[in-house]
A and B are shown apart, each in its own frame.
Chain A
Amino acid sequence: MSFAHLVWSNLKRKKLRTLLTVLSVTIAFVLFGLLSSIKQALTGGVSLEGANRLVVQHKVSIIQLLPVSYKARMERIPGVAAATHQTWFGGYYQDRKYFFMQNPVVPEEFLEMHPELILPPEQKQAWLRTRTGAIVGRKTAERFHWKLGDRVPIQTPIWTKSDGSTAWDFDVVGIFDGKEKTDDTMSFFFHYDYFDEGRARGKGEVGWFTIRVKDPAQAAAVAKLVDQEFENSAEETRTEPEGAFLQAWVKQIGNIALMTAAILGAVFFTILLVTGNTMSQAVRERTGELGVLKAIGFTNGRVMALVLAESCVLAALGGVLGLGCACILVPALAKPLSTMLPMFFFPVRDLLAGSGICLALGVVTGVFPALQAMRLRVADALRRM
């Protein structure tokens, strides 16, 4: 009888118990997948391209605007390759419920600053040509069923036009994708010139600047120089890496990582107990058989390996099933959840982490029963039969 066969027959010995244990491990890993995806949806969205970018905002708060003239002053600072700006438009299409970001930008500068946005060249040309033109991310275009050439009215409670109206019309001339799955394809960008000319107040003021530095290693030093440049002026600035800027936004929601970790901790602690209990029951019931195995020449090491292998197979079965279910379930839920959690997907990083946890679970739940089995003395075990 081969080793694998022994493990398998041990698992089959109480089919129902094995099945129930595997199913509880499965549930744990389905939850792991779901919670990882939720965490990703709430905290993700940091682009890999952003490593050489800094964000400059008003020191007091992002709601305070900065003069557009700061751009020229920033570009004179050594180490700054380029600077461009965005402003929070805060509008909505048809219904306030459907949030997406719309920002006026300077198209050429903006596209150059954000190579992670993929826009077909002819759409780019169309955008540069069309003053009322706007480009929109794939997700938002799909949500509202917008096509190229559509004219869309966006209402904003913040920016009243000179004629007193709050509805701005835009022509959708481009639909962009992201290079990575985590790149934002929800947003909507349009011409700053059209915006600045149209708005009733705040002319010449913008929300924040994005700077590209020449050398990412010098980013911190450049950030300091930028803040020094505007120190003691009416509008002081705060400059930080794009990643930190975005993280600060995410952390406004709260400590999401801690909360998902707390829930997952509760889940895995339970599963550890359930599986561990199954394993120790299995070993206890089989004391006699293990004694026989030893009597016919199985070494202590092999007996221990036998028990460990059994717990690892249990964990692996549950883990593969659970992570597999999560891989199917998460994309299926992404659609209905897209209004609340647009970036909902199961990251590969967490899939790998899950596999690791699965292995650890197998080892941890098996180790005590395995040691117990190893230390078993043949005479004692046989006497108990």
Chain B
Amino acid sequence: MAGPINWLSQVASVTKFGLLGIPQRRGSVAAAVIGIAGVVGVLIGVLSMAVGFQRAMRASASADAAIILRSGADSEMVSGFALDETKVISDAPGLARNAQGSMASAELFVIIDLLKRSTGTRANVPLRGVGPAAFGVRDHLKIEKGRAFGWGRNEVIVGVGAAQEFAGLEVGSTLKVGRQEWPVVGTFSAGGGTAESELWTDATVLQEAYHRGTSFQSVYAKLSSPAAFLQFKDSLTSDPRLNVKVLRQAEYYAEQSTVLSTLITTLGYLVASLMAIGAVFGALNTMYSSVSARTREIATLRALGFGAGAVVVSVMLESVALALAGGVLGAGIAYLACNGFHTATVNWQSFSQVTFAFTVTPFLLAQGIVWATIIGLVGGLLPALRAARLPIAAALREL
């Protein structure tokens, strides 16, 4: 037992030497630590954007939620139904039902131009006409301020994301769209989902305003159970009166968010990898200078009988400790600067804005720390080997 304990105490004393020397080398140590903090910060910051966007898209969809579009349409924008088709859909088996009838909301989806606060330029904001079942079909839907719009009236309610990102949507103000005026009577939240980016009104009112007759674009439905999906889907797709495609909402939103989140994630890793290489150079610089500043001490310890292994391990430990400090710093900055940062981007599939908040998850933080550790290990290895290989006699002669 004496061997390993002795070895450990050797590691501990060499490491202590290194760490105590840090104040004398604070410039070079700070450069390495901040370099690593930069890598971790950028990595987490960029990835939190992708995570936030995906969350917004996926929070919308519970397992028992389905969306029905015209066959061949890949978004609501290009889909279309006549009134009698939506009636056939809402009679289909597998739908959840309540006192008011089946849980299917036939909806209309148009776009209006509003000014985006962050850029001062106009953006495509979705204006959705919904049916009475809409509030039950979506989970977590809640009026936050004001009240719901009145059925049959030219009134809108505004998702909390939209209210924050776009100008002119305060409760009590009036939205002018073309020659129509729409008083804003309330705001609503939807558990972080895409509905929060939208403006809602009564579908029949919107049909009139947009000269759409009695046509709709999509049907949002809640199933009696997640397992009822297949039965529901088969009954609709085999119905000769209909030409539709039926999707779980989760699939629908996943399809819409894949392109953008892949793009952001790829760019994030690319930039962070390059920065990591730069940070490795910084760490190498710092650790080499740490080793060379202690040439004599290390040589003395070796002459006293300390093993080469202990020296390698202790230099690596020092390097990893600095890297971890950088990692924690970077993760902290990224968390403070990015988490909850609200923004909006365009979803090209639906041709409209989606608001979302950057989300720093524990997984991202852990990923940042892992990156920092790897940079520390790589940056410490070569200087550690150099320290271990120091010719003892020559180093002591320098005294």
Which residues of A does B touch, CB under 8 Å? 16-17, 20-21, 23-24, 27-28, 30-31, 34-35, 38, 59-63, 90, 96-97, 99, 157-158, 166, 232, 236, 238, 247-248, 251-255, 262-263, 266-267, 269-271, 273-274, 276-278, 280-281, 340
Given contacts A247-B121, A252-B345, 16 further A-B contacts (CB under 8 A): A20-B284, A24-B285, A27-B278, A28-B278, A96-B74, A99-B348, A248-B122, A253-B346, A254-B118, A255-B118, A255-B119, A255-B343, A270-B38, A277-B30, A281-B27, A340-B263
Please report the C-alpha to C-alpha distance between residue A307 and residue B259 in the assembled complex, in whole angstroms.
Answer: 50
Please report the C-alpha to C-alpha distance between residue A124 and residue B344 in the assembled complex, in whole angstroms.
Answer: 42
Which of A62, A238, A267 has the most chain B CB atoms inside 10 A of its CB? A267
Q: Are B118 and A27 in contact (CB under 8 A)?
A: no
Which residues on the B side are within 8 Å of A248 (C-beta)? 121-123
Q: Are A166 and B345 in contact (CB under 8 A)?
A: no
Please report the C-alpha to C-alpha distance between residue A17 and residue B31 in the assembled complex, in whole angstroms.
Answer: 14
Contacting B285 at CB < 8 Å: which of A30, A62, A266, A274? A274
Which residues on the B side are within 8 Å of A274 (C-beta)? 31, 35, 281-282, 285
User: What are the nearest 4 A-B pairs in CB distance?
Assistant: A27-B278, A157-B78, A252-B346, A251-B119
Q: Are B285 and A269 in contact (CB under 8 A)?
A: no
Residue of A with least CB distance to B41: A266
Known contacts: A38-B267, A274-B31. The answer to whether A20 contacts B281 by CB under 8 A is yes
Known contacts: A27-B281, A157-B73. The answer to whether A61 contacts B274 by CB under 8 A is no
Please report the C-alpha to C-alpha distance between residue A269 and residue B42 in the assembled complex, in whole angstroms.
Answer: 13
Contacting A59 at CB < 8 Å: which of B121, B178, B289? B178
Which residues on the B side are within 8 Å of A252 (C-beta)? 116, 121, 123-124, 345-346, 353
Q: Are A166 and B72 in contact (CB under 8 A)?
A: yes
Which residues on the A side are within 8 Å of B348 (C-beta)? 99
Of the candidate stretches B105-113, B370-378, B391-399, the one touching chain A is B105-113
Which residues on the B side are within 8 Å of A35 (C-beta)? 271
The A interface is mostly helix, strand or loop, or mixed, namely helix
The answer, yes or no, to whether B270 is at the interface (CB within 8 Å) is yes
Residue of B with least CB distance to A235: B178
Q: Are A270 and B281 in contact (CB under 8 A)?
A: no
Which residues on the B side are within 8 Å of A278 (C-beta)? 285
21 contacts between A and B (CB under 8 A): A24-B35, A24-B282, A24-B285, A34-B270, A61-B112, A61-B113, A61-B124, A62-B124, A63-B124, A90-B78, A157-B74, A232-B179, A248-B122, A251-B116, A252-B124, A253-B345, A266-B38, A267-B42, A267-B278, A270-B275, A273-B31
Please report the C-alpha to C-alpha distance between residue A340 and residue B351 in the assembled complex, in whole angstroms.
Answer: 17
* Residue interface bits B3-35, CB-to-A below 8 A is 1, else 0: 000000000000000000000000110110011
Q: Are B41 and A277 in contact (CB under 8 A)?
A: no
Measured CB to CB, the closest approach of chain B to A275, in angstroms, equals 9
Please report the C-alpha to C-alpha distance between residue A232 and residue B281 in the assembled complex, in whole angstroms.
Answer: 66
The answer, yes or no, to whether B77 is at the interface (CB within 8 Å) is yes
Q: Are A270 and B110 in contact (CB under 8 A)?
A: no
Known contacts: A63-B110, A99-B348, A270-B34. The answer to whether A281 contacts B278 by CB under 8 A is no
Which residues of B does A touch, CB under 8 Å? 27-28, 30-31, 34-35, 38, 41-42, 45-46, 72-74, 77-79, 110-113, 116, 118-119, 121-124, 177-179, 259, 263, 267, 270-271, 274-275, 277-279, 281-282, 284-285, 288-289, 343-346, 348, 351, 353
Known contacts: A251-B121, A274-B35, A281-B28. The answer to whether A27 contacts B345 by CB under 8 A is no
Please report the C-alpha to C-alpha distance between residue A258 and residue B122 in the assembled complex, in whole angstroms.
Answer: 18
Measured CB to CB, the closest approach of chain A to B230, in angstroms, equals 25
Residue of B with least CB distance to A257: B119
Contacting A157 at CB < 8 Å: which of B72, B279, B344? B72
Which residues on the B side are within 8 Å of A28 (C-beta)? 278
Please report the C-alpha to C-alpha distance between residue A252 and residue B113 in the assembled complex, in whole angstroms.
Answer: 11
Please report the C-alpha to C-alpha distance between residue A269 and residue B38 in the assembled complex, in whole angstroms.
Answer: 9
Q: Are A30 and B274 in contact (CB under 8 A)?
A: yes
Q: Are B113 and A280 in contact (CB under 8 A)?
A: no
Please report the C-alpha to C-alpha distance between residue A276 and residue B26 in the assembled complex, in whole angstroms.
Answer: 13
Residue of A with least CB distance to B116: A251
Which residues on the B side are within 8 Å of A271 (C-beta)? 278
Please report the C-alpha to C-alpha distance between residue A200 and residue B34 in the assembled complex, in whole angstroms.
Answer: 62
Which residues on the A side are within 8 Å of B42 (C-beta)? 263, 266-267
Q: Are A27 and B277 in contact (CB under 8 A)?
A: yes
Please report the C-alpha to C-alpha distance between residue A274 and residue B33 in the assembled complex, in whole angstroms.
Answer: 10
Q: Are B38 and A267 in contact (CB under 8 A)?
A: yes
Which residues on the B side are within 8 Å of A99 (C-beta)? 348
Which residues on the A side are within 8 Å of B72 (C-beta)? 157, 166
Which residues on the B side are within 8 Å of A238 (C-beta)? 113
Which residues on the A side are within 8 Å of B282 (C-beta)? 20, 24, 270, 274
Which residues on the B side are within 8 Å of A158 (C-beta)? 78
Which residues on the B side are within 8 Å of A273 (C-beta)? 30-31, 34-35
Known contacts: A251-B116, A263-B42, A281-B28. The answer to whether A60 contacts B274 by CB under 8 A is no
Which residues on the B side are within 8 Å of A253 (C-beta)? 345-346
Q: Are B35 and A20 in contact (CB under 8 A)?
A: no
Q: Are B74 and A27 in contact (CB under 8 A)?
A: no
Residue of A with least CB distance to B114: A61
Please report the C-alpha to C-alpha distance between residue A21 and residue B283 in the assembled complex, in whole angstroms.
Answer: 11
Residue of A with least CB distance to B178: A60
Please report the C-alpha to C-alpha distance between residue A255 and residue B124 in the assembled complex, in whole angstroms.
Answer: 15
Which residues on the B side are within 8 Å of A251 (C-beta)? 116, 119, 121, 123
Which of A62, A90, A252 has the most chain B CB atoms inside 10 A of its CB? A252
Measured CB to CB, the closest approach of chain A to B112, in angstroms, equals 5
Please report the C-alpha to C-alpha distance between residue A125 and residue B210 in the assembled complex, in whole angstroms.
Answer: 41
Which residues on the B side are within 8 Å of A23 (C-beta)? 278, 281
Known contacts: A61-B111, A236-B178. The answer to whether A17 contacts B285 by CB under 8 A is yes
Please report the C-alpha to C-alpha distance between residue A74 and residue B277 in the assembled complex, in whole angstroms.
Answer: 58
Q: Are B288 and A16 in contact (CB under 8 A)?
A: yes
Contacting B278 at CB < 8 Å: which of A63, A236, A254, A270? A270
Please report the C-alpha to C-alpha distance between residue A274 and residue B79 in the assembled complex, in whole angstroms.
Answer: 56
Which of B41, B113, B267 has the most chain A CB atoms inside 10 A of its CB? B113
Please report the C-alpha to C-alpha distance between residue A254 and residue B52 in the assembled complex, in whole angstroms.
Answer: 14
Measured CB to CB, the closest approach of chain A to B324, in angstroms, equals 17
Which residues on the A side are within 8 Å of B179 (C-beta)? 232, 236
Which residues on the A side are within 8 Å of B288 (C-beta)? 16-17, 20
Please report the C-alpha to C-alpha distance between residue A236 and residue B179 in the assembled complex, in whole angstroms.
Answer: 9
Known contacts: A90-B78, A254-B118. The answer to whether A277 contacts B113 by CB under 8 A is no
Please report the C-alpha to C-alpha distance between residue A260 and residue B115 in the assembled complex, in whole angstroms.
Answer: 23
Q: Are B27 and A263 in contact (CB under 8 A)?
A: no
Please report the C-alpha to C-alpha distance between residue A252 and residue B122 in the assembled complex, in whole angstroms.
Answer: 8
Measured CB to CB, the closest approach of chain A to B359, in angstroms, equals 16
Please report the C-alpha to C-alpha distance between residue A24 and residue B275 in the assembled complex, in whole angstroms.
Answer: 9
Contacting A254 at CB < 8 Å: which of B35, B281, B289, B343? B343
Which residues on the A side are within 8 Å of B271 (C-beta)? 31, 34-35, 263
Residue of B with least CB distance to A247: B121
